[in-house]
Structure 1
Amino acid sequence: MSSNSSDDNEANVLAYISAVNTTALCILEKKKQKKKKTRSEWVKLWKLRRKEKGAFHLLHQELRLEDKDSFRRYLRMNEDCFLELLEMVKTSIERQDTQMRPAISANESLSCVLRFLATGESYRSLEFQSRISLAFLSERVPEICKALYENLRGTYLQFPEGEQWNKIANQFEARWHFPLCIGALDGKHVAFRASKTDGSLYYNYKGFNSVVLLAMCDAEYKFLFVDIGCNGRISDGGVLSRSDLARILLQADRFLPRDKVIGNNRLLPYVIVGDDAFPLEKHLMKPFPYHTNSESEKNFNFRLSHARQTIEHAFGILSNRFRVLQSNIHLRPPKVIKIIQACCVLHNFLITKSVNYVTEINVRSSETPANVENDDGHRTSNPRRHSNEAGEVRNIFSEYKSC
C-alpha cells in the first residue's frame, strides 16, 4: 500500500510541474505575439489636426489677436513677456525636422509647458487639449523646465552682492520697519505622489509626501536664494543646515556686508529673518518666545513677523500663479525639482518684467503679526540653545527704537 501511495504522489507532482510549464509557455507565447503586433496607424487622425484645432491655434490665432486678457490668463503672462521668454530659451528647446515628420516648434512646446505650470493638469488632459502625444509631453516638459531654469537663473535668480545688499536692507526698513534686514527665509512643502519603493522617506508632518522648497526673498517678493529637493521629513532648520545658505552664513565676512552702526551707536550685523523653526544665529534672527511679558520683546516679534511675511506672500504669489505647485504632482522627485526650479525663476522673471504681476489681491496687509502660531494652532517656543553673541544681537535689535 505504501509503495502505491508513493507512486501516486510522484505522478501528481509530475502532473503539476507539467501544468505549470505549459502555463508558462502559453504566457511567453502571448507576450511574443504582443511584441509582434504592429501599429494600425502612425499618428491618430485627431492629433494630425493639431495646427488647425489644437490649443496652440486657440492661443496664438484667436486669443492673441482677439482677447489679450484671456491670452494672459491662459499662460499667466502677457504676450510681450512670452515672446521675450521664447527668445531666451528658443535655441535650447527647439528640435530639427526629420524626414518622417516636422518637429513640434519651440513656440508650441513652450506654450504647452507654461500651460502645464499654470494649471497643474495631468499630461493626459494636456494631451487632449494640445493634441500632442503623451510620450512627447512626459519627455519634454521636464526638459523645457530645466532649460528655463538654466537660461534664466544667471539673470533673474542670482545671489546678491555688494551694493545690492544695502538696497534690499533699505527696502525692508522703509516698508516693514526692520533695520539691516537682507531677506526673509522660510520653507514650503510641494506635494507629489511618491512610489511605494520610497516608503516614508518623503512623508512630512502634515500628512503627505513632499519635497521642500527653502527660499529667501527680498522686500519685493523676489527670490534671492532657493534650495529645492530635500525630502519632506526634514524640518526647515534641517534643510537650512544642509544648504549652501548655511555655508554662506558661516562665512558671512566673505559673502554678506559688514556690520553697521545704528541707533545708539550700537554695531549690528545685517540679518535674515525667519520663524521659530530656524536656529538663532548672529546673522539669522527669529522671534522671542511668544509668552514673554517684555514690551520690547513683543515689539521685536511684531516687527520681525511683519518683515517675515514677505516670504509667505512670495510663496502665495508663486503658487497662485503656477498652480502646479498646488496639485499632487504625479512625477518622480528629480522631475518635480525641475518643475519647482522653473516656477521660481519664472516668478522672478515676471516680477522684473510685468508691472502688474504683484497686485493688492496677492499681497495680504495686516496690522497683526503673521504666523504667531504654528500650523497646529499652538504657540511656538524656543527650545534650542543659541550662542551668547546671537542672543545679544537679538536683544540690541529689540531695544532699537525703529523696531
Structure 2
Amino acid sequence: MDAYTALALGIALKSTQKRKRRKWAQQWYLCRERFGHVPLLNELRISEPDVFKNFLRMDGESFDKLLDLVRPYITKENTVMRSAISPFERLSITLRFLATGNTFEDLKFLSAISPQAIGGIVIDTCNAINTCLQSYIKMPQTAEEWKELSNDFNKHWNIPHCIGALDGKHVSIKKTIGSGSFYYNYKKHCSIVLLAVVNAKYEFIMVDAGMNGRVSDGGVMSHTKFGSLMEHGELQLPGAEPLHEGDSIDVPYFFVADDAFAMNENLLKPYSVMGNDVLDQERRVFNYRLSRGRRIVENVFGILVSRFGVFQRPMLLSPEKATTVTLTCCYLHNFLRKQSSGYMAPGSVDWEDNVTHELHSGEWRSKQRELAALRPIFSRNSSEKAKFTRDTMKHYFSTLGSVPWQLKMVS
C-alpha cells in the first residue's frame, strides 16, 4: 500500500468515526415522558390548581376548552423514527412562553424539547389560536351594535355616545439583521406598534399589530385598516343624535383617545394645556370625565403586560413572528375575559370608590412596567366639527350630564 492510498484510507476512517459520533437527537430529548413538564402539570392540576393557573395563566377548565379548539390544527402524526409531540405539550409550552417570555433555549430544560422545535411549535400554535379565536375580537358591523357599546360606556362610565377607547403601544423586539433603522422608534429601541380599541367591559373589539415602530406616532392610524375605514366613514357608525330628549343639537358617536391621535368628530381627546394657559373648570371637568373612559384601554394594556410576560422584555423574534405572538395574547385576553371569572380579579385594574369616587390604582401598575406609549402630537389642527363636538360634550358634562362628584375630583 503506497503512502497516498494509506492517507486516503485514514481520512475516510476518520470521517466514518466522526459520523458515528454524531447523534440524531440528544438522548434526554427522547425521554420527554420522564423529563418533560407534562407530569408536573398533571400533578399541579390535581394538588395545586392555583399554581397550575399561574404556570399557564389560565385555569384547567379554560385550558381544556382551548386545547379542544386548537387540537385539530396542532396534532401531528407519529413516525417510525419517533413519537410526535402531543397537542397538550404543544399548547402548554406555548402558553408558558407567552406567560414568561423565556427563551426557547431556557424552555428546553422544562419541556425536554429542542429549542429549534419549540420555536416552530410556538408560532404554529399561536397561528392556530388566532384562527380558532377569531370570533373573540369582533368589531360591530351595524349601527345597532355600536349603540350597544355606547349604552355600556354611558352605564359604567357616564360618557354618552362613546363607542370605544382607543390607544396604541410600542411592543419591543430585537433588532433584526438588515433592518437598519426601520423598526427604531423615538424611545431608542426597535418595536412594532399595537393599536387597539376596547369596549366598556375591558375587551378588545379591534387590534392591529405589526406596523414598524419608526412610523410617526401621529400617523399610526392612517396606516391601519381601522383608520382608513374611519376616514372614509365606513365603520357603519350610528348617525349623530341629541344627547338627551328635547335637545336640538345632534352629537356624533365617538371614540375616546389621548394626545397621540389627531382629533376628528368621531374621535375626541382631552383639552391640552399649551404654554402658560390654565384650563377653566368646564374643560377640567371634561378632561376628567373623558379620562374615566380612556382608562379602560390603559388598564387592558396593563393587564396584558401583567398576565403575559412575553411583553416584559424585547421579543427575540422576527417582526412577523412578534406580530403573531402579540395578536395571540390579545385573543387570549378576550377568551379568558369571557371564559374565566378569575382572570381579572377585583383590584387588578383601576377602580373607583362607590361612595367617594376616589380613584385607586390597579395591581398591574405596581407589579409590571408598561408598554411604551405613542408620542403625543400637538401640531395638527382639528376640524371645526371635531372642536364643536368636544365643546358640546364639555357643556353637557357641566350641565344636564353632570355627576355630583366631578367638581371634587377636579378641584
Deviation at 1:334, TM superposition (A): 0.7
Secondary structure of the 1:308 match is helix
Q: Distance in 2 between matches of 1:50 and 1:309?
A: 45
Structure 1 pair 159–266 and aligned structure 2 pair: CA distance change class (3 A): same
Partner of 1:307: 293
Secondary structure of 2:178 counterpart: helix
8 Å CA contact 1:288–1:301 kept in 2: the answer is: yes
**CA shift for structure 1 position 227:** 0.8
Q: Please report how far the alpha carbon of residue 33 of structure 1 lies from its aligned counterpart in structure 2 after TM superposition.
A: 6.6
Distance 2:333 2:360 in 1: 25
| The one of 304, 323, 326 aligned to 2:309 | 323
| Alignment partner of 2:322 out of 336, 340, 355 | 336
Instruction: Decide whether the 8 Å contact of 1:117 with 1:343 is kept in 2.
Output: yes
Cα-to-partner distance string for 1:114-158 (whole Å, 9 max, x where unaligned) = 0000110000110011001112111121111111112211x1011
Shift in alpha-carbon separation, 1:178–1:146, aligned structure 2, 3 A: same
Matches of 1:369 and 1:245, distance apart in 2: 32
1:81, 1:262 → 2: CA distance? 41
**C-alpha distance in 2 between matches for 1:251 and 1:87:** 40
Residue matched to 1:48: 30
SS in 2 for 1:178: coil
Shift of 1:38: 5.3
Say whether residues 1:82 and 2:63 are aligned partners. Answer: yes
Q: Which amino acid aligns with 2:341?
A: V
Structure 1 residues 253 and 148 mapped into 2: Cα distance closer, same or farther (>3 Å)? Answer: closer
> Which string of whole-angstrom CA distances, capped at 9 and with x for unpartnered residues, describes residues 84-107 of structure 1?
101111111111111111101111
Q: Give the distance between the partners of 1:38 and 1:83, measured in 2 at CA.
A: 44
The two structures, once aligned, show a CA RMSD in angstroms of 2.6
CA distance in 2, matches of 1:282, 1:68: 49
What TM-score do you get using the length of structure 1 for normalisation? Answer: 0.85
Letter in 2 for 1:160: P
Return closer, same or farther for 1:189/1:265 CA change in 2, 3 Å cut-off. Answer: same
**Distance of 2:376 and 2:279 partners within structure 1:** 15
Q: Contact between 2:261 and 2:376, CA under 8 Å: does it hold in 1?
A: no
Which residue among 377, 392, 397 is the counterpart of 1:396? 392
Partner in structure 2 of residue 110 of structure 1? 91
- The 1-side partners of 2:24 and 2:328 are apart by 33
- Structure 1 residue runs of 5 or longer lacking an equivalent are 1-28
> Partner of 1:158 in structure 2?
138
Shift, 1:258, TM fit: 2.1
TM-score (norm: length of structure 2)? 0.83
> Which amino acid is the alignment partner of residue 337 of structure 1?
T
1:175-196 per-residue CA deviation (whole Å, 9 max, x = no partner) reads 2211111111111111111124
2:333 aligns with one of 347, 354, 367:
347
Q: Max radius of gyration: which structure?
A: 1
- 1:64 deviates by 1.3
Q: 1:380 to 1:355 in 2, by over 3 A?
A: same
Q: Could you tell me how far apart the structure 2 residues matched to 1:167 and 1:243 are? A: 24
Deviation of the 1:48 alpha carbon: 2.4
Query: In the alignment, is residue 133 of structure 1 matched against residue 114 of structure 2?
Result: yes
> What are the within-5 Å matches in structure 2 for residues 215-294 of structure 1?
215-252=196-233, 255-263=236-244, 264-290=247-273, 291-294=277-280
Q: 2:102 is matched with which residue: 121, 125, 128?
A: 121
> Counting helix residues as a fraction of each chain, which structure ranks higher?
1
Please list every run of 5 or more consecutive structure 2 residues that lacks an aligned counterpart in the other structure: 1-10, 353-357, 362-370, 403-411
Report the AA paired with residue 32 of structure 2.
Answer: R
3-state DSSP of counterpart to 1:102: coil
Q: Distance in 2 between matches of 1:268 and 1:235?
A: 30
Q: Specify whether residues 195 and 293 from structure 1 end up closer, same or farther in structure 2 by C-alpha distance, changes over 3 A only.
A: closer
Letter in 1 for 2:390: R
Distance 1:39 1:390, change over 3 A: farther
CA contact (8 A) 2:165 2:257 kept: yes
**1:187-224 per-position Cα deviation (integer Å, ceiling 9, x unaligned):** 11111111242122111112211111011101111001
> Within 1, Cα distance between the matches of 2:228 and 2:377?
26
> Is this contact kept in 2: 1:288–1:382, CA < 8 A?
no
TM-fit CA distance, 1:304: 1.1
